[in-house]
Structure 1
């Protein structure tokens, strides 16, 4: 594994061009660029962060077009997910817009949703989640995820954590963009710093509502 020296800003240029040339011929002609400026730097970064945040999976660059009206074959972002627990962890993405960091959970099984809602409803654990979500919002993160339009059945509509109860998935993300440190070794510490901001949310899910 190569030593991490930064994520080249050329990675964003690559995705800007891909958005205009999303076809097999262009991809094959630029596959070496993808490997050099996207895949290898991210694999190196994730390997160095793994001891703290868990092993990471770099998502496949190919879209599943079987059930989509959009038949573009390639994703216009490269995502990765680092985790020590199935379904909950830390996210990193590179696109034409630059870097995005995030974290949370995406499982929505019935059993998991029941655990999540019970924990949100309980005074101590619910207050802890509300505090973590508020801190992330104040730091510029967007708190997001799949949501119901109304509070789920069995909970009062005026519940103090009604918005959190509506969530079927819960995550937070921040578009960092193209900072000066992106293409330097300092990107490792900066990504780690942002992921640590997300740790209260991730740890809450692991403690109270693991998938």
Structure 2
């Protein structure tokens, strides 16, 4: 299957799901989800795989075990690519009734990764490289996001020239497009590819300076 855009029916499907997040609605419209959401997204990812790697497409079902919100289905479809062996620095894409979203970076870091991240930010060589890249992406229209502390982390100075970056516990750049006619064409593939290329340097910095966690997986 070749990618020819995200059909409007897929966005309409999510509008309906937002209004009626129930098993009844899902069962009645699952074929629309498969044909107009998951199918086109997978086709896009297949075309991008040679350059960026194989993606993980997230399940449409929400994990409600530890959530007050018990609605069973996600109102968006996302996928992520984390290059094998790098441990940190991923590409993300998401389609929903709100349009198209792309991101690059890291969304959740363990304590050992946060420590390495901050040491690199404070470093006289690696810190300016990240600062320059974040500044470039922000100027190009990307939102610089991620969990961050309200205070300066222990061991670092409030006068540090990169104090805003030091506060981060995760870091990613994001760009969003509201629904438009081009979303239903191959231009959507071009926009995702271009954005992911824009975020390649950020991901490389994170992979080189933060890497994978050495902590044991958490048990639930």
Q: Which bracket does the TM-score occupy, shorter chain normalised?
A: over 0.9
Partner of 2:42: 43
> In the alignment, is the contact (CA less than 8 A) between 1:87 and 1:107 conserved in 2?
no
**Paired position in structure 2 for 1:31:** 30
The answer to whether the 8 Å contact 1:9/1:178 transfers is: no
Superposition deviation, residue 166 in structure 1: 0.6
> Superposed, which structure 2 residues align to 1:1-211 within 5 Å?
2-84=1-83, 85-211=86-212
Which portions of structure 1, spanning 4 or more consecutive aligned residues, are displaced by more than 6 angstroms? none
> Would you say the 8 A contact 1:104–1:201 is kept in 2?
yes
TM-score by length of 1: 0.95
Superposed CA deviations along residues 75-109 of structure 1, whole A, max 9, x for unmatched, are: 11111101213342111011111001111012321
User: Take 1:86 and 1:40, find their aligned partners in 2: how far apart are those partners?
Assistant: 28
Cα shift at 1:27: 0.2
**CA displacement 1:105-131 (0-9 Å, x = unmatched):** 123212111111111000111111111
Root-mean-square deviation (CA, aligned residues, Å) is 1.2
Q: Aligned pairs, how many?
A: 210
Task: Give, in angstroms, the shift of residue 179 of structure 1.
Answer: 3.5
| Aligned-pair CA distance for 1:200 | 1.6
Please give the alpha-carbon distance, in whole angstroms, between the structure 2 residues aligned to 1:113 and 1:41: 36
What TM-score, normalized by structure 2, do the two folds share?
Answer: 0.91
3-state SS in 2 of match to 1:92: strand
- Structure 1: which 5+ runs fail to align? none
- Paired with 2:202 and 2:170, the residues of 1 have a C-alpha distance of 12
- The aligned counterpart of 2:217 is none
State how far apart, in whole Å, the 2-side matches of 1:111 and 1:40 are. Answer: 38
Give how far 1:149 is off: 1.0
In 2, Cα distance between equivalents of 1:97 and 1:55: 25
Q: Secondary structure at the match of 1:30?
A: helix
Cα contact 2:92–2:102 (8 A) shared by 1: yes
Cα separation, partners in 2 of 1:40 and 1:146, compared to 1, 3 Å = same
Question: What are the Cα deviations for residues 33-74 of structure 1, in whole angstroms up to 9, with x where unaligned?
Answer: 000011010011111101111110111110111111111000
Ranges in structure 2 where 5+ consecutive residues have no aligned partner: 213-220
| 3-state SS of paired residue (2:94) | strand
